[in-house]
Amino acid sequence: MARRKKGNAVHGWLVLDKPFEMTSTRAVGILKRLFNAQKVGHAGTLDPLATGILPIAFGEATKTVSFAVDGEKVYRFAVRWGTETATDDAEGQVVATGEGRPTVADIEALLPRFTGEIMQVPPQFSAIKVDGERAYALARDGEEVTLEARPVVIDELRLLEMPNEDVAIFEARCGKGTYVRAIARDMGRALGCRGHVIELRRMRVGPFAEEESFSLEEIEEAVEAGEDLSAFLRPVEMALGEILEINVSPSDAADLVQGRSILIRGRDAPVLGGVAYAISKGQIVALGEIEKGALHPTRVFNFGG
């Protein structure tokens, strides 16, 4: 006899505005408790000292996390010139200093070097694994961590303002794996004055934007008031963004859920190809690949208990 899962079968995405000084793992734990949910995860770790968008996946939405993680990110961040730290943010010890301060013209002239596909060395204090261990764990133990440069894509990097000569505020649109702390560190080195992030906010992750986000306080108040928490959730397929959506009949949906391929009907079927997801009666039933006029399921969804 199958053991009953603890908690409720909650499915969908919640766009959390993560508070300052909270880990992403801690945020997931709190929401799992508030929703009494069986399964919860997140799409893309956000540093404790950062605030902003942390997409939270409940239940079957966890099957779409990889698509959310691969989505474009938008960050707004402040850099303090004059010092570089071990963590590339305000938490770490100062490891280098620099004289002089850059002008707006100096910074504007530098930005093209940090736009497009560039090679970036991740911060020593990052979640990247080195010989099976997280880099930040090794660095905290005092070990010298050497990380290889890797390609990242920064679609746009803009200087928004300079409140004073020591601080500059930027906005970046970038792809998966880009470290904003490394951008600040490398700009400081290139400008000859050193620098580190003192404030960081993530404003977007793929289709998840701050305009539709909720704070933990809002959710906790709803729990205390006995309100229906489903109002905080977005559909599972929200993470799939621009992926092709195909409406299928209930009989085709039943085949997909059982792992069987279905033929794509309609005059455009022969030219369709690539990744797609199937919807039946307003609910996602499967993710798959279209090939030779058929949808082959690679992941199916079960919204039962």
Give the active site residues.
Answer: 47
Identify the residue whose tokens are 């004073």: 164
Which among 206, 275, 241, 209 has a CA at the least distance from the CA of 43? 206
Report the sign of the C-alpha dihedral through residues 112, 113, 115, 117, in that order. Answer: positive
57, 64 contact by CB (below 8 A) = yes
Report the sign of the C-alpha dihedral through residues 85, 88, 90, 92, in that order. Answer: negative
Identify the residue whose tokens are 């995860």: 41
Cα 259 to Cα 139: distance, rounded to the nearest angstrom: 45
| Six token digits for residue 166 | 């020591």
What kind and span of H or E run contains 286? strand 283-291
229, 56 contact by CB (below 8 A) = no
Alpha helices of the chain — where are they, by DSSP H?
A: 24-35, 65-69, 104-110, 135-140, 180-191, 216-224, 250-257
| Six token digits for residue 261 | 């391929």
- As a whole number of Å, the CA-based R_g of the chain is 22
